[in-house]
Amino acid sequence: MELIHKDCLKGMKEMPSNSVDLVVTSPPYNLGIDYSTYKDTSDRSAFIAWCQEWASEIHRILAEEGSFFLNVGAAPANPLLPHQLLLALTEQEPNFILQNTFHWVKSITIQTRKGETISAGHFKPIQSKRFVNDCHEYIFHLTKSGKVPLNRREAGVEYADKSNIARWAHTGGHDKRCRGNTWFIPYETIKSRDKDRPHPATFPVALVEQCLRLHGIHEKTHLIDPFLGIGTSAVAAHRMKVPKFTGFDIDEGYLAVAKERIEQEKDRDAETLI
């Protein structure tokens, strides 16, 4: 496992073409988030151009049947950013193809079949007369061809109505169906932001794990995260036993936390063997 203190552009330029199977990352959103090192405010056109630069390197190093899962969020007052970025990455050479769009739902309220109302997850409430609370982000699944096969059932869910297992031929008798493009994955609750989540914009380990299940892992899978932060994708790679992982970050403090989290994972593994 490589956790590297380096700008991802420089780091990826040193990697061979077509050498990476999976990319799962969440870059800065240019929404004024208070990172330790990176300044998250720039001209929109300059931000998009920068994204195209590092995305071009991802395109170069990604294998022909590789998957690039890009997590992008927005602000209620700035909703077009994810779509503008997506258009830039899919319409200008070297262009990706949008194969799937997933909606990462952080908080939701539903009514059960019994008529019960259940609220689950977490969200950051806003005070506004114009906007509603923002409870989701996007996961854009980008590939070179748009034809990359996926392990839909591996990332699926059990049937609520078990009679469907025999009713539909595509189940093959297995109690698993495709989950679809809406993923409810709440944040883990924390007691102290400084201690438990010292990075202002993280995604849950379960989100990365879902991407890994969907694409699939083989004996030589190489996963990278160009914007490692405090190492959530590295933790997911460790738990899912991904053979090779590379993460880049320009912030030494975040990188130190990432390395500490991996050591904690290894300690937990050792304790389970005792």
Instruction: Work out whether the CA dihedral 161, 210, 212, 55 comes out positive or negative.
Output: positive
The DSSP secondary-structure symbol of 80 reads: T
> What pLDDT is attached to residue 191?
54
Is the distance from CB of 176 to CB of 157 less than 8 angstroms?
A: yes
DSSP code per residue over 144-208: SSS-----TTTT-B--SSTHHHHH-GGGTT-S-B---SEEE-PPPP-S-HHHH--SSS---HHHH
Mean pLDDT, each 10-residue run in order, the chain (274 residues) = 95 97 90 48 83 96 98 88 95 93 94 90 87 93 97 84 75 80 83 51 88 96 97 96 96 94 91 72
pLDDT digit string, tens, across residues 115-134:
999 999 988 888 888 999 88
Domain total in the chain: 1
CA distances in angstroms from 97 to 31, 146, 170, 253, listed in the order given = 25, 5, 27, 35
- For residue 7 the two structure tokens come to 């700008």
Residue for token pair 């409810």: 184
Neighbours of 208 (CB within 10 A): 28
Cβ–Cβ under 8 Å, residues 216 and 137: no
The pLDDT score that the predictor gives to residue 229 is 94
Q: Which helix (H) or strand (E) holds 85?
A: helix 81-91
What is the distance in angstroms between the CA of the first residue and the CA of the last residue of the chain? 24
Q: Are strands 62-72 and 2-5 parallel, antiparallel or unpaired?
A: unpaired
Rounded Cα–Cα distance for residues 201 and 117 (Å):
30
Query: CA 142, 241, 26: angle at the middle one, nearest 5?
Result: 35
CATH number at residue 224: 3.40.50.150
- What pLDDT does 157 receive? 85
Q: Looking at the DSSP assignment, which residues form a beta bridge with residue 137?
A: 104
Beta-carbon neighbour count of residue 224 at 10 Å?
28
118, 125, 180, 129: which is closest to 152 by C-alpha? Answer: 180
**For residue 127, what pLDDT is reported?**
87
Q: What is the pLDDT of residue 161?
A: 78
- pLDDT, position 95: 93
**How high is the pLDDT of residue 31?**
55
**Structural domain range at position 258:** 2-273
* 232-239 and 252-273 helices, crossing angle to 10°: 20
Rounded Cα distance between 119 and 47, Å, is 36
- For residues 184 and 101, give the distance between their C-alpha atoms in angstroms, rounded to a whole number: 14
User: Angle 41-46-47 (CA atoms, 0-180°, nearest 5)?
Assistant: 55
Predicted local confidence at residue 274, as pLDDT? 65
* pLDDT digit string, tens, across residues 2-14: 999 999 999 999 9
